[in-house]
Chains A and B, each alone.
Chain A
Amino acid sequence: NAGVTQTPKFQVLKTGQSMTLQCAQDMNHEYMSWYRQDPGMGLRLIHYSVGAGITDQGEVPNGYNVSRSTTEDFPLRLLSAAPSQTSVYFCASRVLHRRQGGYGYTFGSGTRLTVV
């Protein structure tokens, strides 16, 4: 298993440009989510999905769109990039431990985005 794969690792955008951050997992996890990490603010949830065709907003969804057409992929779209979206973005998937209870998250390695 490759786990959670994010591409690209680094990206520089100009204000107003659009782009898609890719996230793929090969563990057949139903739940996937996107976080952004900013200094002193921890990780904040942008959007999440509980399965193919189902998405919902997290804490900081403005300026971002998501879709979930397959279990494996959960892309994050920036429609019109702004300097305030300069951040490190993490994708994560989650597995439920149905027998012993609880769950586990697998994080991607992150995408460092700079908007100039």
Chain B
Amino acid sequence: AQSVTQPDIHITVSEGASLELRCNYSYGATPYLFWYVQSPGQGLQLLLKYFSGDTLVQGIKGFEAEFKRSQSSFNLRKPSVHWSDAAEYFCAVGAGGTSYGKLTFGQGTILTVHP
């Protein structure tokens, strides 16, 4: 069965500092990987996704993530955090290929940004 672990429940950074949110997945074959962001009381917004090819993926709002198969990781990074980045972030894994695989989410990481 597929699973996702986000080890950090809550992260606090200062505005302008760099950010890395960790994501580890478990899946038997090639995974499809996603990062979503959710502002309080809002729905989910896709930041970026990885299906194949270049393991460094660029997303919206200046975010990027790197797929490392050997470490089963898909960590999200941003070089300089803005106050508007404060939100909850979810990593998710889905089945690769063309199967009707389900999307499994991690527990989420809440990001607080200090001015």
- Is A108 within 8 A of B43, CB to CB? yes
Q: How large is the interface on B (under 10, 10 to 19, 20 to 34, 35 or more residues)?
A: 20 to 34
Query: Interface code B42-63, partner A: CB below 8 Å = 1, 0 otherwise?
Result: 1110100101100000000000
Contact of B102 among A45, A90, A96 (CB under 8 A): A45
Quick one: which of B1-35 are within 8 Å of A by CB? Answer: 4, 6, 9, 32, 34
Quick one: which of A80-110 are within 8 Å of B by CB? Answer: 90, 92, 94, 96, 98, 100-105, 107-110
Residues on B lying within 8 angstroms of A by beta carbon are 4, 6, 9, 32, 34, 42-44, 46, 49, 51-52, 90, 92, 94, 98, 100, 102-108
A105 to B100, CA, bound (A): 12
Quick one: which of A32-70 are within 8 Å of B by CB? Answer: 33, 35, 40-45, 48, 50, 58
- Is A31 within 8 A of B107, CB to CB? no
Contact of A90 among B43, B98, B107 (CB under 8 A): B43
Residues on A lying within 8 angstroms of B by beta carbon are 31, 33, 35, 40-45, 48, 50, 58, 90, 92, 94, 96, 98, 100-105, 107-110
A107 to B103, CA, bound (A): 12
Distance (Å) between the CB of A33 and the closest chain B CB? 7
- Is B43 within 8 A of A109, CB to CB? yes
Closest to A100 in B: B51
- Is B104 within 8 A of A102, CB to CB? no
List 16 other contacts, CB 8 Å, given A90-B43, A103-B32, A103-B94.
A35-B105, A40-B107, A42-B6, A42-B105, A43-B92, A45-B104, A50-B100, A96-B98, A98-B98, A100-B51, A101-B51, A102-B32, A102-B49, A105-B103, A107-B43, A108-B43
